[in-house]
Structure 1
């Protein structure tokens, strides 16, 4: 049975363009279109589509408000379209907080090297999130003015529980919260490394808000995301978490209790020695599919930190992270993967698990607590 899609955008040209791309795939069918958020909310109720593609800036009702209303009335996987600007990044993150599962830039040429690749990417994303209806409903974020972001400074110093009430997180797969933590290994660590892609922004918020301010090791984060988004995303995480979070810069010294988010469009590596390692931010090879690339950062961590790393692979499409995790594993590092039930896309974690590299497969709501149990004395 074909996946039924509702396409929402105030531009008739863009509605037609997205519809034509989706209809090229025999597994996808566009059941209707809507020109604003209010129409989207009403048509979601009557048509019950499997997936909704949603613009952010629209008349009558904006996309963020529409997502919030849809998640309250008829929870449906939503793919947001966004401009690659700073304001667009902040609005997209607001939409993810409201309950959207994933996003893509409106200018397809910004995410693909050819028209064919862009078409396939959009089709794949829609099909991927359609399979994850089990993660719904999500708790809607508190109502804010259209497109507005919450003041990040007001969140500094809140407990993880208080911080989590301000953002939407995937509904845990029962009985995830009742599962026991993995037995503590007693291993010595010097670095926590986390790689993710599709579904990663919400997953990272869920994990990082569990970490205490006195977390004893540096943390590196690799999220597949455009360059204009990583700056805004790092700032948002910094406001939500007790640890400090920043977009990584060339020459940054890795410090305990600090998380460094790889900048979009570039590669993050390390030089030096444990305890005095520095971050190197490089343009990297254009032939590499991902910028930033989890494999590249994990491999660099293996050279500097050896086996004294806990690497966690979260939700994401593809297999990025598998080979880097393999190198870490060969050095004696611990590798964990997010379980299938709590992933938006069980691609990257599955690749690590199927290769026999991961020692633990954990539900998202448990991962942050498990990290603290494993790495904090």
Structure 2
């Protein structure tokens, strides 16, 4: 057993101290790499470096971490088996599952989310690949920091931010991480477009898989009459599994988009991991275009390319939704959609796992509505049925 421990801090000083991170992986190379990355950040520290899930369960109370980076495949007790035992001992523990990009691991990661994991992160096949290691490094630190920031905002739950006018239902598991919003200034809300929506575009990231499965499960009539295009920040293989889950949740066809295919009503198109999804007009048809360009907003696929490209096809007939996620991807494209006459809806902070992407859009003043997740689908059904308010 390989264990490195730092004694836990007194509870009354936890809020002022760096985030306490436990790294659990049977690879000494990966443990060392992640530990060095975390150790170089001023707002976080490694309090445990463990080889197996059993070590993590046995040492949890002594180490007292805020966040655990948990490998899936380990001897003695694997990550998916250790997960519920860790949460039983510490209900508010943030657990980020780490796995290599295989279909089996992708399926296990989805199962982990349903069991209470906060998020997942794909590990590169080899840390010798500089670009893959760099992305892994960036994403891991951002996830730890974003979840840690929410964890520290431990204040009583409050209603969604008040909105002021500006001039001129699913069987999928719900989120484990409970909301802890802070007081917000009033956010400007724009009027919905008077143009009838002809397409639904959705962008999401951290917490997005659960939110998407809940949302599409209530959108049957919209999907039947209009195309739905989704960009979820996700690697290859994971998007394949997500498309299958979306099909089951919606009882409608859902698949990873194919380059050159015609966009049709009654279909859910998901941007495949590792490729940006755009659309363009060819005669009377809207057509999918996939590309292998550079990451946008550190993401690939990214939401902005889809949002911005859709304007050429549907102009002001775009209804777009920005769901839970880190960063600000979608805000620039959302601004373009609004300028072209379309509308943007953002998920509210209380129901978002991370209020980065929807929060950026809300604070940019481009949203016509900022709603709890369970209110977005009913609103969309009304809007696509002719409601303009």
From 302, 320, 323, the equivalent of 2:329 is 320
From 57, 60, 76, the equivalent of 1:41 is 57
Q: Is the 8 A contact 1:112 1:118 kept in 2?
A: no
Q: Is the 8 A contact 2:180 2:350 kept in 1?
A: no
**Deviation string, structure 1 residues 119-160 (Cα, Å, up to 9, x no partner):** 443222211112334899xxxxxxxxxxxxxxxxxxxxxxx5
What residue ranges of structure 2 are gaps of 5+ in the alignment? Answer: 1-16, 155-168, 182-189
SS in 2 for 1:342: coil
Give 1:117 deviation, angstroms.
6.1
1:110 and 1:305 mapped to 2: Cα distance? 44
Give 1:214 deviation, angstroms.
6.2
Give 1:349 deviation, angstroms.
1.5
From 187, 191, 212, the equivalent of 2:199 is 191
Counterpart position of 1:61: 77
Counterpart position of 1:308: 317
2:116 and 2:251 mapped to 1: Cα distance? 23
SS in 1 for 2:328: coil
Matching of residues 163-202 of structure 1 within 5 Å: 163-164=171-172, 167-170=173-176, 173=179, 188-202=196-210
Counterpart position of 2:39: 23
Counterpart position of 1:126: 144
Counterpart position of 1:80: 97
TM-score in terms of structure 1 length: 0.81
Give 1:269 deviation, angstroms.
1.5
SS in 1 for 2:350: helix
Count of equivalent residues: 345
**Could you say what the CA RMSD is over the residues aligned between the two structures, in angstroms?**
3.0
1:169 and 1:313 mapped to 2: Cα distance? 17
Q: Is the 8 A contact 1:231 1:247 kept in 2?
A: yes
Counterpart position of 1:342: 351
From 239, 251, 271, the equivalent of 1:262 is 271
Counterpart position of 2:293: 284
Counterpart position of 1:210: 218
SS in 1 for 2:254: strand
Q: Is the 8 A contact 1:135 1:173 kept in 2?
A: no
Farther off after superposition, 104-113 or 67-76: 104-113
2:56 and 2:235 mapped to 1: Cα distance? 27
What residue ranges of structure 1 are gaps of 5+ in the alignment? Answer: 137-159, 176-181
From 232, 250, 254, the equivalent of 1:245 is 254
- Classify 1:363/1:191 alpha carbon distance in 2 versus 1 (closer, same or farther; 3 Å): same
TM-score in terms of structure 2 length: 0.79
Larger radius of gyration between Structure 1 and Structure 2: 2
2:332 and 2:127 mapped to 1: Cα distance? 28
From 106, 110, 123, the equivalent of 1:106 is 123
**Deviation string, structure 1 residues 161-190 (Cα, Å, up to 9, x no partner):** 4x32xx343466499xxxxxx999875111
Alignment partner of 1:358 is 2:367: yes
1:308 and 1:327 mapped to 2: Cα distance? 13
Q: Is the 8 A contact 2:236 2:273 kept in 1?
A: yes
- Classify 1:172/1:375 alpha carbon distance in 2 versus 1 (closer, same or farther; 3 Å): farther
Farther off after superposition, 317-326 or 36-45: 36-45
Farther off after superposition, 35-44 or 220-229: 35-44
Counterpart position of 1:32: 48
Q: Is the 8 A contact 2:192 2:368 kept in 1?
A: no
Alignment partner of 1:367 is 2:385: no
Q: Is the 8 A contact 1:105 1:111 kept in 2?
A: no
SS in 2 for 1:227: coil
Counterpart position of 1:95: 112
Alignment partner of 1:71 is 2:87: yes
- Classify 1:326/1:111 alpha carbon distance in 2 versus 1 (closer, same or farther; 3 Å): farther
